[in-house]
Amino acid sequence: MPSTPHKTVGGECCRLPGFPEWKTSNFGTLQDTMNLPGYSRLSRLATVLIVFLPAFTPPSAAQQSGAVQSPAQVTELLGRMSAAVRELDYRGLFTYEQGGSLDTLKIVHSVRDGVEYERLEHLSGPTREFVRRGQPVNCLPPGDQLLRGRLRALGENAGGLSAHYVFYLRGEERIAGREAHILQIVPRDEYRYGYTLGIDRQSGMPLLFMLVSEMEKGKRVLERFQFVELTLGGIDDSELTPVSDRHRIAGQQMDGCRPPPSARTDNWQLNWLPQGFMFSGQRKIEPNGDMLMYTDGLTTFSVFIDPVVDSYTVEGQARRGATVAYMQRVEKHNLPYSITVVGEIPPITARRVAESVKSLVPPPQR
């Protein structure tokens, strides 16, 4: 059949031209994923780490380079953080930096009768306001559900997270006028990123979150979230009310949690994965697409496979902060497909994953 024209793009940008709007990395559209403040990931991150930390082996004295290491203390810190970010009443100002841009945001969070209420307002750039209402504290968003649902399978991975990350406690620093414990999570290979967390000594609230490329010269910070002001307790109902008519309400009067994705593959698989990553689920994307999800217990990425129907396909990669989107066109069973990998992973990982997609069975005749 005649080849399909394609367009190559690349560079640092918020989205690839021609990307379907539904493309997602467990958190919503590609656009939403690349603009999601780091604050929203912290609860999920802590939940996973708590499960795996009891199995990790402390690094050697040479690896520590003078850092104090205590698995019990790290587990306790992360447990407090996971609970604090969901269960405490607080208001604050924080900055969020990614891809060369810096935003300032205001957050108000409260729990009333076991239900979370939250208002997030951008204080720089265009007026943007997000309100989350009526979500039970124990009702996790889709990304959290995905991780919780696969913990049993991941727990069977002998090495746990310690096989792929090293955990260091780096003492304390002052952040937003508060004393914070500093936890550093360093990857053991080039196929994943590292993290630095600043956890409030008094409340357990996350005051700092950095996603770091350890393999790039100078340890490049890809995303940074940091509180500059934080007040605990005393939230009035009026503070949770939108101040602008141009706001978006999410999770209003939720009656339950969205079920986790299906845990089986019918048509596709990967011939290569970084060590420690496992298949965690899939979804069918209408009309004929597939989304496959993978995780190492801490990092996640998604693979989208779509039949090519346009007169041209987009190829190349785009980055925004830590999020990469890599797309390429392939021929499977003499039919053209678009393969897209989206996640907070290094470009080399996304490219190798995309190149390893294998079709298990011929697609139905179209």
| Boundary (domain end) residue, out of 250, 285, 319 | 250
Residue after which a domain boundary falls, among 200, 225, 250 = 250
3-state class (DSSP) for residue 272: coil
Asked if the bond preceding 206 is cis, omega within 30° of 0, the reply is: no
Q: Which of 228, 250, 272 is the last residue of a domain?
A: 250
Mean pLDDT, residues 107-135? 85
**Residue 120 per-residue DSSP state:** E
Burial class for 1, CB neighbours closer than 10 Å (0-12, 13-18, 19+): exposed
Helix (H, G, I), strand (E, B) or coil at 315: strand
Q: What does the pLDDT read at residue 227?
A: 95
Say whether pLDDT at 344 is over 60. Answer: yes
Share above pLDDT 70 across residues of the chain, in percent, rounded to a whole number: 62
Q: Give the pLDDT of residue 40.
A: 53
Q: Is the pLDDT of residue 150 over 50?
A: no
Question: Which ranges of the chain would DSSP assign to H, the alpha helix?
Answer: 30-34, 42-52, 61-64, 71-87, 142-149, 151-155, 347-355
- Residue 255 located in a structural domain: no
The whole-number pLDDT of residue 1 equals: 42
Please say if the pLDDT value at position 110 is more than 90: yes
Is residue 336 over pLDDT 80? yes
Q: Which of 6-10, 101-105, 158-162, 200-204 has the lowest mean pLDDT?
A: 6-10
Same domain, 217 and 270: no
User: Is there a single domain that holds both residue 235 and residue 268?
Assistant: no
Using DSSP's 3-state secondary structure scheme, residue 347 falls into helix
Q: Quick one: DSSP state of residue 298?
A: S
Judge if 94 and 232 occupy the same domain. Answer: yes
Here the CATH number for the domain that contains residue 304 is 3.30.200.100
- Judged against a pLDDT cut of 80, whether residue 28 lies above it is answered with no
Does 75 or 93 have the greater pLDDT score? 93
Same domain, 154 and 226: yes
Q: Is 365 inside any structural domain?
A: no
Number of Cβ within a 10 Å radius of residue 248 = 11
Residue 68: per-residue pLDDT: 43
CATH code, 206 = 2.50.20.10
Higher-pLDDT residue of 41, 360: 360
Averaged over 146-161, what is the pLDDT? 40
Residues contacting 2, CB < 8 A, separation 6+: none
Closest of 350, 302, 345, 295 to residue 49, by C-alpha? 295
Distance from C-alpha of 100 to C-alpha of 14, rounded to nearest angstrom: 11
**How many CB atoms are located within 10 Å of the residue 2 CB?**
4
Residues in the chain: 366
Res 19: pLDDT: 43
Residues 280, 244, single domain; the answer is no
* CA atoms of 214 and 193, how far apart (whole Å): 7
88-108, pLDDT tens digit by residue? 999 999 998 887 888 899 999
Say whether pLDDT at 128 is over 90: no
State which of 128-132, 189-193, 359-363 shows the largest mean pLDDT: 189-193
183, 240: one domain: yes
- Residue 171 shares a structural domain with residue 137: yes
Range(s) of the domain holding residue 167: 37-250
Give the pLDDT confidence of 177-208 residue by residue, as tens digits: 999 999 888 899 999 999 898 999 999 998 99
Note whether 127 and 156 are same-domain residues: yes
Of 20-29, 119-128, 155-164, minimum mean pLDDT range:
20-29
* Interval 108-112 mean pLDDT: 92
Each residue of 328-363: b (16+ CB within 10 Å) or e? Answer: bbbebeeebbbbbbbbbbbeebbebbbeebeeeeee
Question: Are 18 and 77 found together in one domain?
Answer: no
Question: Taking the model in full, what pTM does it have?
Answer: 0.74
CB-based contact 339:303 (threshold 8 Å): yes
Most confident among 59-63, 257-261, 276-280 (mean pLDDT): 276-280
In the chain, pLDDT over 90 holds for what percent of residues? 25
- What's the pLDDT score for residue 280? 85
- Give the C-alpha separation, 138 to 49, whole Å: 18
286-307: average pLDDT: 86
- Say if CB 356 and CB 331 are below 8 A apart: no
- pLDDT mean across residues, the chain: 73
Report in angstroms the alpha-carbon separations of 6 from 30, 186, 252, 308: 21, 38, 41, 10
Domain identity same for 274 and 351: yes
Question: Would you say residue 46 has pLDDT above 60?
Answer: no
Determine the pLDDT at residue 181: 93
User: Is 325 a domain residue?
Assistant: yes
Q: How many domains does the chain have?
A: 2
Q: Please indicate, yes or no, whether residues 195 and 283 belong to a single structural domain of this protein.
A: no
Residues 238-247: b if buried by 16+ CB within 10 A, e if exposed: ebbeeeeeeb
* 3-class secondary-structure state, position 84: helix
Kindly state whether residues 217 and 106 are assigned to the same domain: yes
Structure tokens at 197: 């967390």
